[in-house]
Amino acid sequence: MSAVAPAGAAGPAGPATPSAEPPLLSVQDLSVTFTARRGSGRSEVRAVDGVSFDVRPGRVMALVGESGSGKSVTSLALTGLLPARGNRVEGRALFAGEDLLTVPRARLADLRGRELAMVFQDPMSSLNPVVPVGLQITEVVRRHTGAGRAAAKERAVELLGRVGIPDPRRRVREFPHQLSGGMRQRVMIAIALACDPRLVIADEPTTALDVTIQAQVIDLLSTLVREQGTAMLLITHDLGVVAGVCDDVTVMYAGRVVEQAPRRELFARPRHRYTAGLLASVPRLDGPRPERLTPIPGTPRDVVAWSEACAFAPRCTAGDDACRRGDLVLAPDAGAGAAPGHLVRCVHPAPVEQP
Amino acid sequence: MTAVLPPPAAAGAPSAPGPVDEPGVSLVRGAWRRLRRDPTAIVGAVLVAAFLLVALAAPLLAGYEPGRALPGNGVTPSSVPGPSPEHPLGLDASGVDLLTQLVYGARQSLVIGVVSTSLGLAAGMALGVLAGAFGGWVDVAVMRVVDIMLSIPSLLLAVSIAALLGQSPISVMLAIAAAQVPIFARLLRGSMLAQRGSDYVLAASSLGLRHRTVVMSHVLPNSLGPVIVQATLVLGTAIIEVAALSYLGLGDGNPATAEWGRLLVRAQARLQSDPHLALLPGACIAVTALGFTLLGESLREALDPKGRR
């Protein structure tokens, strides 16, 4: 997937101005703090810190970041799947007017699967090994629509056909271990689509798959979003996936949003040094041929607290004393030609490449 | 990229070319296929089948009535009549046809073994599901009770219950079942806890399925494997325990009931002169228990869906 050209993907079928339609999911100032009792005192880790973004119908929002940047914790917090104890979730996540973080558990259970559905990373371990895949679809259909056994089974066959599984009537009776990795992920997608949800949260849906299958799965997901007007939150560390399907991108680092922009804008003129570094470390089809990739030095563990400085400063080529200031703000990009909605949290934004 | 997807028109209908709508291989059928190729399973199954056959067809196989001493049998304090055309294995110490006693003993063992294991399984699973499904204080409370039960040696527990309820087949069954309850409860609870953290349980909850559905259709089926195996193994142990209880004089009160353990007790005094009186019932117990153990072990391997294809 990494070699997909950033330009040329079909634009959204929806309205040209993204801000015209109200967001389906509006995450506002989301914070997740994990607490642990260690020895006598308590230690706290802020995994997600003041994250805000909007997801609109028919559009794909990508949440990009390295391991440990808080992107998966964000998705688990939104769906109420964090462990019951040992964490504190703050902020708001308005889903069609309801705050997912404060709705009663029963209401959340009604919403999950029907209005918002998740596609997980590893389709082998996320499907129940001893239950036929058809049954894993029908139980969701029956739970949320009250359909009968036969109707639900027909729906399962139809869904498997829709996600491109050949001979669905036979496949509904098979077990996950009888399907290939790509087919399993298609089944996961079919389960997520079972009740025509308005929001799909896909948590690294392609990571466990090999490259050719990744392309198919991403293509399938984006087709479904375009056709049905579903909103999608795509969590990934793969910029190729982002380039292929996303409309908007939110880049996270150490629990905070460092840059947020429409896809074309982000790929054309990345402003945060971390985003620029990510892009420089991926091969491009439209770049000069004998190309040297530039990795970002260090590891995500070389982190300072956001309250003291820019967390990326230790790894940043432009890091200096000006970066060692607590709580940098996420501000609209002040550079020339910035698109509306391009936000960046950086003291020394990367220079804009002139084409 | 788009070329890999079938056209939307094909969706919903089974594709025309390729294999016709043949049923997928089900878990049970796959397990059956694996079992048939496993020599251990075949030996175990043959032993168990022979035991079941003997137990069910006891009246046809035995020439005499169990527990009824034959008149003028020739049993003396120092010897019993040996094999003869009328009595292929001779008579036992109380003057009853030994073959008849062994055959009816199989029936007795089967009934008590199956009923007590079913009781133990049902109660143990109920406790295990309770603890595994709810967790928290329910789990703690149930597991402490189970720990207490486990801390009492199973035979001692069985002896106490049998002594408390008096000598009857029902008290033997209850005694053996009670000793099994903590084993099943622990096993199921542990197995369920291991499943609860798995990805597909998280995935199922993310789809808004009810807790009941998640537990019953996702956690429980994946946790049953070890329990089924244990039940088969315990069935073998139960047969030994039936014998042990009646050896200790706590079995079925009716002296006419043919029972392998009681045959052993009666043979004790004649170990020097007629060792076969002890050896034959002993062998019956051992072979039956072995059959269930072999079958249980291969069942465990065959039922594992992640095992060899």
pLDDT tens-digit series, residues B241-287: 888 888 887 777 677 777 888 888 888 777 877 888 888 888 988 89
> How many Å lie between the alpha carbon of A185 and the closest alpha carbon of chain B?
13
The sign of the dihedral angle between the CA atoms of A334, A340, A346, A350 is negative
Backbone angles phi, psi at A252, to 5 degrees: -110, 145
CA distance B146 to B126: 12
Residue A129 CB coordination number (10 Å) = 17
Backbone angles phi, psi at A91, to 5 degrees: 100, -165
Interface test with B, best of A103, A120, A167 (most B CBs within 10 A): A167
In this structure, whether the domain defined by A24-37+44-253 belongs to CATH 3.20.130.10 is answered with no
Interface test with A, best of B200, B214, B306 (most A CBs within 10 A): B200
Interface test with A, best of B207, B212, B219 (most A CBs within 10 A): B207
Q: What is the pLDDT of residue B58?
A: 79
- Name the pTM for this structure: 0.73
Of B4, B210, B222, the CB nearest to A130: B222
Judge: B12–A168 Cβ closer than 8 Å, yes or no: yes
Q: Say yes or no: A142 contacts chain B, CB-CB below 8 A.
A: no
User: Residue B219 to residues A97, A122, A192, B128, B130: CA-CA distances in angstroms?
Assistant: 34, 18, 20, 12, 12
Closest of B30, B118, B47, B39 to residue B303, by C-alpha: B30
Strands A248-253 and A60-64 come out as parallel
Of B198, B206, B305, the CB nearest to A125: B198
Judge: B202–A81 Cβ closer than 8 Å, yes or no: yes
Closest of B16, B15, B26, B22 to residue A161, by C-alpha: B15
Q: What is the CA radius of gyration of chain B?
A: 25
**CA triple A188-A191-A193, angle to 5 deg:** 110
Pick the CATH number of B30-65+90-303 from 1.10.3720.10, 3.30.200.20, 3.20.20.140, 3.40.630.10: 1.10.3720.10
- Closest residue in chain B to residue A138, using alpha carbons only: B209
Domain boundaries, chain B: 30-65+90-303
User: Does residue B160 sit in helix, strand or coil?
Assistant: helix
Judge: B222–A144 Cβ closer than 8 Å, yes or no: no
Please check whether residue B117 is in contact with residue B83, taking contact to mean a CB–CB distance below 8 angstroms.
no
Q: What is the pLDDT of residue A337?
A: 75
Query: Would you state the structure tokens that stand for residue A44, as one six-digit string?
Result: 């706290």
Judge: A178–B18 Cβ closer than 8 Å, yes or no: no
A92 Cα distance to chain centroid: 18
Instruction: Give the residue ranges of chain A where pLDDT is below 70.
Output: 1-20, 39-40, 285, 287-291, 300-302, 353-355
**CB contacts < 8 Å between A and B, how many?**
134
Judge: A223–B5 Cβ closer than 8 Å, yes or no: yes
CA distance B232 to B240: 13
Closest of A196, A197, A198, A189 to residue A218, by C-alpha: A189
Please check whether residue A270 is in contact with residue A333, taking contact to mean a CB–CB distance below 8 angstroms.
no
CA distance A129 to A177: 7
Q: What is the pLDDT of residue A355?
A: 52
Please check whether residue A317 is in contact with residue A342, taking contact to mean a CB–CB distance below 8 angstroms.
no
For chain A, helix (H) and strand (E) counts, in that order, are 11, 12
> How many Å lie between the alpha carbon of A109 and the closest alpha carbon of chain B?
4
Q: Say yes or no: A111 contacts chain B, CB-CB below 8 A.
A: yes
CA distance B82 to B276: 10
The sign of the dihedral angle between the CA atoms of B135, B137, B142, B146 is positive
Domain boundaries, chain A: 24-37+44-253, 265-350
Instruction: Give the residue ranges of chain B where pLDDT is below 70.
Output: 1-28, 67-68, 72-79, 253, 303-309
Q: What is the pLDDT of residue A27?
A: 93
Residue B85 CB coordination number (10 Å) = 5
A231 forms beta bridges with A199
Q: State whether ipTM is beyond 0.90.
A: no
Burial environment of residue B88 by CB neighbours within 10 A (0 to 12, 13 to 18, 19 or more)? exposed
Interface list for chain B against chain A, based on CB atoms closer than 8 Å: 1-2, 4-6, 8, 10-15, 18-19, 21-27, 198-200, 202-210, 213, 217-218, 221-222, 305-306, 309
DSSP characters over B157-196: HHHHHHHHH-SSHHHHHHHHHHHHHHHHHHHHHHHHHHHH
